[in-house]
Structure 1
Amino acid sequence: MAKLFSRVSGGLVVAGILCFAGGFWIPAKAIVAQYLLQRAWQQSVVTGATVKAWPWADTWPVGRLQVDRLGIDLIVLEGESGEVLAFGPGHLPQSSSPGTEGHCILAGHRDTSFAFLRELQEGDVLLVHGKSGKRIYHVQTTTVVRAEDLYLDRERAELLTLITCFPFEAVMPGTPLRFVVTAEAESVAAGIERRLLVEKTSNRGRKH
């Protein structure tokens, strides 16, 4: 009963604050909801069960995204609908689950949860936690493409892709462009770095 009351009262607090937010509807949702989502995520990690942040939620936490350099710490939700992304970054269900091997694809709003994408640099470290483990990624590229030209190979292994609308300063929703961040899992990134180092050393040897 105490747990039920806690969850219901928490949901009422969110509802009250969001109503008060008015014109700042989406930003308020994303900021306020993160507290309850953090709590639900911790419970799901401990119990292994799917835990909703509030009773009527149509999504649930499936992971955690951290970028220490930028002070980013976000709970990742299941799904990619507008309703889901209003509360935080969403995981595309067809892609690999956060924290597991494979290609994990996350999407988020450019003015809230994924506003930080514009600050990412090549080599930045991204940490993704899942219920069954965690993966460390290194940013490889940032690109801008038209929405209709966006192709995501869900079968590609050891990859994290972050997607948001572009430009970041756009006033109207539904822009035709997408900002895409591609990051390789640490094992793959480390292999690439080692190969480049070997090639560089080899080239130096030939010069001598």
Structure 2
Amino acid sequence: MRGLGIRARGRAAAAVLLVMAGLGLTAQAAWIPAKAALAQVLLERAFAETLATRRPIRPWPWADTVPVARLTLDGSSFIALAGSSGQALAFGPGHVEGTPQAGEPGTAVYAAHRDTQFAVLGRLKPGDPIAVTRADGRTATFRVTGSRVAAWDSSGIDPEAPGRRLVLSTCWPLDAVTHGSLRLIVEADSDIGS
């Protein structure tokens, strides 16, 4: 009889440990999307102040980047940061270094995580509109021309290509749970007259 009680307590302890581990994993999985959502609130404020003052405003005192654009696509709006480092992408889309601003000659490139802001990229179709409001207040509009999947190191994106183009990029496949070398690349051309 006594041995049965020890086994039951052991099973109960194991069950409690499994529940605790499950809660820990759930909290860890929710952390990145929650951080990205909170960051967008702070980024919105900083971007509004940037537009009003025409000077870069950091979203929080220790930020090592500033908001540079608002991307509007598929019914969603995201503030993009200067740079595409892992630190910047943890909070929102990043404007890739060495590419022009949206609406300027060449190809502007923005990247973001597939499980936060750029989860919407899989829903974009040719003809869909994308608007980019820059920190200087100008808005450039684009239409999706297509999408493709390419290796991260052979994307074929040319920042100096003729015309005014836009590329949005995220990891592929969108529902993957591990890092991979493939990227979903959504390409768009400037709207006529923008």
Partner of 2:7: none
Partner of 2:9: none
Partner of 2:157: 152
Q: How many angstroms does 1:101 deviate by?
A: 4.1
Q: Distance in 1 between matches of 2:78 and 2:104?
A: 18
Q: How many angstroms does 1:150 deviate by?
A: 1.2
Q: Does 2:190 align with 1:168?
A: no
Q: Distance in 1 between matches of 2:146 and 2:166?
A: 11
Partner secondary structure for residue 169 of structure 1:
coil
AA paired with 1:134?
A: T
Match of 2:102 among 86, 98, 105: 98
Judge conservation of contact 2:102–2:165 (CA < 8 Å) in 1: no
User: For residues 149 and 102 of structure 1, do their structure 2 counterparts lie closer, same or farther at Cα, with a shift above 3 Å needed?
Assistant: closer
Q: How many angstroms does 1:25 deviate by?
A: 2.4
Match of 1:55 among 53, 61, 64: 61
Deviations 1:129-183 (CA, angstroms, capped at 9, x unpaired): 112311110000110112232121111230000010000111112x111100000
User: For residues 100 and 44 of structure 1, do their structure 2 counterparts lie closer, same or farther at Cα, with a shift above 3 Å needed?
Assistant: farther
TM-score, normalising length from structure 2?
0.81
Judge conservation of contact 1:100–1:130 (CA < 8 Å) in 2: no
AA paired with 2:58?
A: K
Partner of 2:24: none
How many corresponding residue pairs? Answer: 166
Q: Distance in 2 between matches of 1:153 and 1:99?
A: 15
Q: How many angstroms does 1:100 deviate by?
A: 3.7
Judge conservation of contact 1:104–1:159 (CA < 8 Å) in 2: yes
Query: Which structure 1 segments of 5+ residues have no match?
Result: 1-20, 191-208
Q: Distance in 2 between matches of 1:28 and 1:101?
A: 36
Q: Distance in 2 between matches of 1:101 and 1:90?
A: 19
Query: Which structure 2 segments of 5+ residues have no match?
Result: 1-26
TM-score, normalising length from structure 1?
0.76
AA paired with 1:43?
A: E
AA paired with 2:66?
A: W
Partner secondary structure for residue 192 of structure 2:
helix
AA paired with 1:127?
A: A
Greater Cα radius of gyration, structure 1 or 2: 2
User: For residues 99 and 84 of structure 1, do their structure 2 counterparts lie closer, same or farther at Cα, with a shift above 3 Å needed?
Assistant: same
User: For residues 163 and 89 of structure 1, do their structure 2 counterparts lie closer, same or farther at Cα, with a shift above 3 Å needed?
Assistant: same
Q: RMSD between aligned alpha carbons?
A: 1.6
Percent identity (aligned): 40
Q: How many angstroms does 1:26 deviate by?
A: 1.5
Judge conservation of contact 1:30–1:112 (CA < 8 Å) in 2: yes
Partner of 2:126: 122
Partner secondary structure for residue 148 of structure 1:
coil
> Higher relative contact order at CA 8 Å, sep ≥6: structure 1 or structure 2?
2
User: For residues 100 and 47 of structure 1, do their structure 2 counterparts lie closer, same or farther at Cα, with a shift above 3 Å needed?
Assistant: farther
Partner of 1:44: 50
